[in-house]
Chain A
Amino acid sequence: SQKIEQNSEALNIQEGKTATLTCNYTNYSPAYLQWYRQDPGRGPVFLLLIRENEKEKRKERLKVTFDTTLKQSLFHITASQPADSATYLCALDSGGNTGKLIFGQGTTLQVKP
């Protein structure tokens, strides 16, 4: 069955450093991958989308890579700030052009001042 894994352990880093979060998947060949941010008590908010034919995507301090051979996406936040502290979710399309997504369990990032 399709499976998506994110590091379930919280990631703690110092302000100003680069945070790197990992999303691995198996038994699947998605056409695209999305990253969302979720703050406590709130719904997820879309950050970035990367397609299977794209190696890298950037938006301000965010960078996403997509390696379809390794079946892995990396999500980087450069010059991290305490305000970046949140849970980050990756999601893959489940195919069929229906907009259905399969989500990972999320990784919580804590940026210490």
Chain B
Amino acid sequence: NAGVTQTPKFQVLKTGQSMTLQCAQDMNHEYMSWYRQDPGMGLRLIHYSVGAGITDQGEVPNGYNVSRSTTEDFPLRLLSAAPSQTSVYFCASSRAGQGSNEQFFGPGTRLTVL
């Protein structure tokens, strides 16, 4: 199994540009999440999904959109990039159940917005 994969690994955008960060998992996990990690801030939840067709906002959703058309894929869209969105983005997946299952993280996407 490849686990959780993310593309691209690195990206530089200009302010106002749009892009999609890709995330896929091959473990048949129901739950998937997007986090951003900034220095000294830890991981902050952007959006999450408990299954195909179901998404909800996390702590810092503004400026980001998600959709979950399949169990495997959970893309994150930046509609109009801003310098404040410069960060490292992690996608994670976990099994459904008691809500206590470990999360499996992807390798991350390092995004710079100029």
**Residues of chain A whose beta carbon lies under 8 Å from any beta carbon of chain B:** 4, 6, 8, 31-32, 34, 41-46, 49, 51, 89, 91, 93, 96-106
Contacts and interface: CB of A to CB of B under 8 A. Distances in A.
Interface in B29-59: 31, 33, 35, 40-45, 48, 50, 56, 58-59
Interface residues on B, range: 20 to 34
A105 B48 contact: no
Contact of B33 (A4, A41, A96, A100): A100
A93 B99 contact: yes
Interface stretch (B13-21, B62-70, B71-79, B101-109): B101-109
Contacts of A89: 42-43
B96 A105 contact: no
B8 to A, nearest CB: 15
A44 B42 contact: no
Given A43-B107, A99-B31, A49 B100 contact: yes
A99 B94 contact: yes
A31 B41 contact: no
A20 to B, nearest CB: 20
Contacts of B41: 105
A45 B92 CA distance: 10
